[in-house]
Amino acid sequence: MTIALERPVGSSDPATLVDPEVTERLVRRIATDHVEISEATARRIVGQAAAFIAASGELRGQPLAPSELVDYGWHAFILHTVDYAAFCERVAGGFVHHVPTDEGYEMPGGAQATRERTLAAIAAAGYTVDEELWPDLADCTQCHAGCTDSPNSGKKK
């Protein structure tokens, strides 16, 4: 059985991959959890999180990482488990897990190389990269212990 994944033709806006109703829920979650982020920016974050998830699905096992802002979108999406699982199946061919790194873990080649590898993977998958949302990489060493979405914490990262 062959799975037909959604693939953009040329460079496309990854926000179009996410159902508009789901997008609005994610935008509200991001803007509520991170009051410094406007709804317009949150909408862009949802698009880049979708592109990151899609690229991660295409390159399983490759060391890719989200920016801090894109990680906010990924966390918001993961909280909507039914929507997230359906999106992963449709766009990435299966569930894309969020796996926090251990304290002191260094990405192969360092943060800058990982950022470049991630953005190249998103572009190679045919999605537009919103450079403003990728100034850095997320510090996922504390994802389970310190994120707002963590079962062990009520504080923001």
> How far does Cα 15 stand from its chain's mean position?
12
Task: Give backbone dihedrals phi and psi of 34, rounded to 5 degrees, phi first.
Answer: -130, 80
Residue 157 belongs to a domain:
no
Per-residue CA distances from 126 to 63, 76, 85, 130, 146 (Å):
19, 23, 22, 13, 33
Neighbours of 81 (CB within 10 A): 9
Please write the tens of the pLDDT for every residue from 119-129: 999 999 899 99
> Residue 9: inside a domain, yes or no?
no
Query: Which domain, by its residues, includes 46?
Result: 14-146
Q: Which residue has the tokens 């949302």?
A: 133
Q: What is the pLDDT of residue 83?
A: 97
Helices (H), 59-140: 68-79, 81-87, 110-124
Instruction: Look at residue 86 and tell me if it is in a domain.
Output: yes
The tokens describing 145, both together, are 């212990």
- Name the band, by pLDDT with cuts 50, 70 and 90, for residue 132: very high
What's the pLDDT score for residue 14? 83
91, part of any domain: yes
Model confidence, pTM: 0.79
Alpha carbons 106 and 14: distance in angstroms, whole number: 28
Q: For residues 96 and 89, what is the distance between their CA atoms, to the nearest angstrom?
A: 9
pLDDT at 73: 97
6 in any annotated domain: no
Number of domains in the chain: 1
Within a domain: residue 39?
yes
Establish if 82 belongs to a structural domain. yes
* DSSP conformation class of 64: -
**Which token pair is 39?**
């709804």
Among residues 55, 75, 51, which one has the least CA distance to residue 64?
55
**Per mean pLDDT, which range of 47-51, 55-59, 76-80, 153-157 is the poorest?**
153-157
Residue 71 lies in a domain: yes
* Mean pLDDT score across all residues of the chain: 80
pLDDT digits (tens, 9 = 90+) for 69-114: 999 999 999 999 999 999 999 999 999 988 776 555 566 677 888 8
> What amino acid is encoded at 149 in this protein?
D
Neighbours of 75 (CB within 10 A): 23
